[in-house]
Amino acid sequence: MPRVMGERGDVVPLLAEVFRTYGFEGASLARITEGTRLGKGSIYNFFPGGKEEMAEAVLSEIDTWFRDQVFQPLRHAADAQQGVADMFTAVGRYFLSGRKVCLVGVFALGHERDRYAVKVQAYFAEWVQALAAALQRAGHDADGALALAEDVVGGIQGALVLARAADEPALFMRALARMQQRLVPPGTC
């Protein structure tokens, strides 16, 4: 039986899980209605633009969460090292300690890549820039901070894939801990 939801925002996390599981192309209307437990009419009432509007809403929610929980704290934490530590905590929490794949990464690799390229590129670029800025404030030189930020954001994505492939979520958390240790500024312990 279809469920009743009063707010569009209540549907977005459910849609995210459908897209996370099946990708954009694989998220058929049947899978969307099954995953949200909403009827087709309700789905199109919330998202008259169809699957594209649903994907935009999901990506927008992810962007907002990461901006609030990761990017802004990296940029504005009074203690840059604490901001970096908080990033690792937030990322571990968001990806359920390695049990949840990165939906933006799914969109970056699937057939929908070109359709959402600007949003995907902006998400990763903002993450790298925010982390690099925090690393610079923590004592790394500009070039080193940027290189480390690229390595870490790429490493997080790779660790998610590896943890899922190995069916070992703890692998993701171990990788996060090693990456965090790599970011200790020169001359500190």
Q: Which domains does the chain show, CATH number per domain?
A: 8-183 (1.10.357.10)
pLDDT of residue 5: 57
pLDDT of residue 113: 78
Nearest to 164 by CA among 64, 104, 86, 96: 96
Contact of 40 with 5, CB cutoff 8 Å = no
139 neighbors 187 (Cβ within 8 angstroms): yes
Q: What angle do CA 72, 77, 79 make, to 5 degrees?
A: 155
What is the reported pLDDT for 111? Answer: 77
Q: Tokens in use for 184?
A: 């200790």
Q: Are 156 and 149 in contact (CB under 8 A)?
A: no
Please list, residue by residue across 18-51, b when 16 or more beta carbons sit within 10 angstroms of its beta carbon and e when fewer do. bbbebbbeebeeeebbebbebeeebbeebbeeeb
Say which DSSP state 78 is in: S
> What is the pLDDT, as a whole number, of residue 110?
76
d(CA 35, CA 38): 8
Residues whose CB falls within 8 Å of the CB of residue 141, separated by 6 or more in sequence, listed in order: none
The pTM (predicted TM-score) of the whole model is 0.88
pLDDT tens, N- to C-terminus, the chain (189 residues): 455 556 889 999 999 999 999 989 999 999 999 999 999 999 999 999 999 999 999 999 999 999 999 999 999 999 999 999 999 999 999 998 778 888 888 888 877 878 888 998 999 999 999 999 999 999 999 999 999 999 999 999 999 999 999 999 999 999 999 999 999 876 665
